Amino acid sequence: MARFLAIANRKGGVGKSTIAVMLAHAAAAWGKKRVLVLDLDTQCNASLMLVGGEGWDKARRAGLTIADYFFDRFEKVAEDESHYTIQNVGDVAHPKNAAGRLALLPGSLMLEDVQGELYLRQAKRGVDPDTVADEVRNRMKRLMKHFGMDYDYVILDCPPGLSFAALAAIDLADQVVVPFRPDFVSQFALDRVALLIERVENADQLEDIRFADRRYACLPNYVTNKGRERMLIDQIALDHPLLEARVPLLDSVARAFDWDDTKKTMAEKYGDALPHLRKLHDEIFSGATWLAKTG
């Protein structure tokens, strides 16, 4: 069964999709793993990074997106779900027959509408709203879990906010990476998402959970190395486990996600971001790692 890694933060604009795609490329290319990205964000940025606009549009028109998958399979017995995924995505070259590969279940602009539709459908049965919400979330969780049989890692690119899909993904995840921008507002966002991930209600209860026992770790992203950022990161480290890796604000990261179907090496694609990605990859995936720590 795959390890499920969610990339989540209730706050938007922190680089969730970028980190999800970077980790997916790294695990497939360096770790030789079978990796699936589930794009749960209605912005569909991870999909656009991995298959481009035309590839994503083709999947959408064929009814092969995450929203279609949830809608089609919500009440059906599980069947083969593999035809919803696109294989060998991304623009990092893999030798033929190489062990690692990268697949995508594309995102959908309609995912929020579909979640509403599924909720209303369940609610018509006359059950109380909380129970209906639990049912929708749990069914989505089970549907995502089905993909675990065919991959080593399933990376869940979560949307900002608290949709059913986001909650289901966080609930399903073995581990959660929480990217954040080192600014004042992010502190509040981290505090809140931590409660959600650890299933506690307040800061006192969170404090009772040792860092080593927490399911999540925070990742400073878009780091410019200014004094104020270092100060905030030190403050955040009092309350939340931090990865040692940092992802700096680099043009090379931004450029890496201009869609281009030319296959490249990791060094060509990520340029001077490569050592940072290597460190992040090693910290998360290699050896007796953080991701292997629980479960």
Partner 1 sequence: MARKSRPLTGAAKTAYLKRVVRAEADIDAAAAERLTSRLNAEIASLSLRNADDEALAEAAAMAQIETASAHAEPVPADMATATDTATPVQQPQTAAAPATDSETFDPYSPNVVVVIRTRGRDATLAALSEIREVANLKLLAREQQLGIASDLASPDEIRLAIVAAAERRIANRRAAAS
Q: Which residues bind partner 1 (CB under 8 A)?
A: 184, 187-188, 191-192, 195, 201-203, 206, 211, 220, 223-228, 230-231, 233-235, 237-238, 241-242, 244-246, 248, 265-267, 271-275, 278-279
Helix (H) or strand (E) holding 136: helix 129-145
In the complex with partner 1, which residue's Cβ is closer, 80 or 184? 184
Taking the C-alpha atoms of residue 46 and residue 30, their distance in angstroms, rounded to an integer, is 20
Residue 133 or residue 206: which is nearer to partner 1 going by CB?
206
Helix (H) or strand (E) holding 176: strand 175-180
Neighbours of 125 (CB within 10 A): 9
| Nearest CB to partner 1, comparing residues 114 and 277 | 277
Q: Are 21 and 257 in contact (CB under 8 A)?
A: yes
Smallest distance from the beta carbon of 266 to partner 1, in angstroms?
Answer: 7
Local structure of residue 126 (DSSP, 8 states): -
CB of 288 to partner 1, least distance (A): 14
| Choice between 129 and 275, CB closer to partner 1 | 275
* In the complex, least distance from residue 167 CB atom to partner 1, rounded to whole angstroms: 18
Q: In this structure, what token pair is assigned to residue 3?
A: 């390890």
In contact, 197 and 240? CB cutoff 8 Å: no
Nearer to partner 1, 109 or 185 (CB): 185
Residue 82's alpha-carbon distances to 14, 45, 86, 103, 131, in angstroms, are 30, 21, 8, 10, 30
Q: Would you list the DSSP string of 41-85?
A: -TT-HHHHHHHHHHHHHHHHHTT-SHHHHHHHHSSSPP---GGGS
What residues are paired with 34 via a beta bridge? Answer: 101
The SS3 of residue 39 is strand
Least distance from C-beta 235 to partner 1, angstroms? 5
Return the number of the residue (72 or 268) whose C-beta is nearest partner 1. 268
CB of 73 to partner 1, least distance (A): 37
Minimum distance from residue 230 beta carbon to partner 1 (Å): 5
